[in-house]
Structure 1
């Protein structure tokens, strides 16, 4: 708990709860459209206390991104490594993503995969921070894919799947339903398999996100 002095009286607020409220505000509006006034109102604290506890808006955003990453287990690729096959692992991973980015009561999309910050002076470090977290996601996926694929194929497949995952996040923000996004996952797998088969490469022939063939 953090103590805030409010009109002469100390008032306590839960730092983690305040951070969660800031997360929703940034997630919903994005960094550029969110003001310190918006944040103070959402967090139910005064702006001086916000600065004192969290630092600048940029510093708060970095803390929020870290909290989001932990909350959604952003780098957890166990769905891929513990599955009975690569295609089933990617199916499960992408299905979990769809469920998360379309969850009722939460802002749509992924705060990191779909996060956008204007690349202007004073914000470059935030642009680079988000980029680094997305690259960490791709790197974690690549390592997980090495359970099934050689290093180079795992790296190439991770790049393709990350691009697709970012597209899913954008479509969720645009209002696409979970059912429609899951259909996109299925189509993605079928097209990847077909593209490989037309080049004469083998594939497992299973349904869903069948990227053994695409890799």
Structure 2
């Protein structure tokens, strides 16, 4: 039997997450990662298989811990409230004072070279999953009459996610939370609510 692990996997993934978030995937060296995680390279490879495998674990952890607000936002009864909570949640997540600025998925994928294409694709799949979930909520709103029949949930979800990704880039450049929250509120005015949707928003 092999020797038992001498570290808490959740803790080392959390440490790796911050390194990837701060430096991007390619900018995070194995030395940076192992020093932050407090483990050796052999232990990293034995546990996660590769740097890419470690990044996948970190990305999963990022979604569970830092983007948990998004699932809650989609449960809001009124679609306007759902989109508002989604946008403001991303503005806040990108600018939390106790963590790196911006979005792990955006930061990790933005400077990936050809050798890291699988990682870029993984980050894109991660972001698309959020877009699909938002589109489903908007489809529900259209079916329930909160959005006009001729509105496109898919295009609206893409618009909202484009704003969220833009806010991530702005946050990385130092834009304040207050400024990004104003951007979120401006984007919200583009949501094409029906009369029923406006009534539901006021009631909420």
Q: Into which bin does the TM-score normalised by the smaller protein fall? A: 0.7 to 0.9
Q: Output the CA distance in 1 between the equivalents of 2:97 and 2:42.
A: 33
Q: How does 1:1-215 map to 2 (within 5 A)?
A: 3=4, 12-73=6-67, 76-83=70-77, 85-150=78-143, 153-190=152-189, 192=190
Contact 1:3 1:13 in 2 (8 A): no
Q: Output the CA distance in 1 between the equivalents of 2:7 and 2:107.
A: 30
Q: Output the CA distance in 1 between the equivalents of 2:95 and 2:13.
A: 22
Q: Output the CA distance in 2 between the equivalents of 1:15 and 1:205.
A: 45
Contact 1:24 1:107 in 2 (8 A): yes
5+ long unaligned stretches in structure 2:
144-148
Paired position in structure 2 for 1:9: none
Q: Output the CA distance in 2 between the equivalents of 1:56 and 1:89.
A: 38
> TM-score if structure 1 supplies the norm length?
0.78
More strand by share: 1
CA deviation after TM superposition for structure 1 residue 82, in Å: 2.0
Q: What's the Cα RMSD here? A: 2.7
More helix by share: 2
Task: State the structure with bigger RCO (CA 8 A, min sep 6), 1 or 2.
Answer: 2
Instruction: Work out which of the two has the higher radius of gyration on C-alpha atoms and give 1 or 2.
Output: 1
5+ long unaligned stretches in structure 1:
5-11, 210-215
> TM-score if structure 2 supplies the norm length?
0.82
CA deviation after TM superposition for structure 1 residue 86, in Å: 2.0
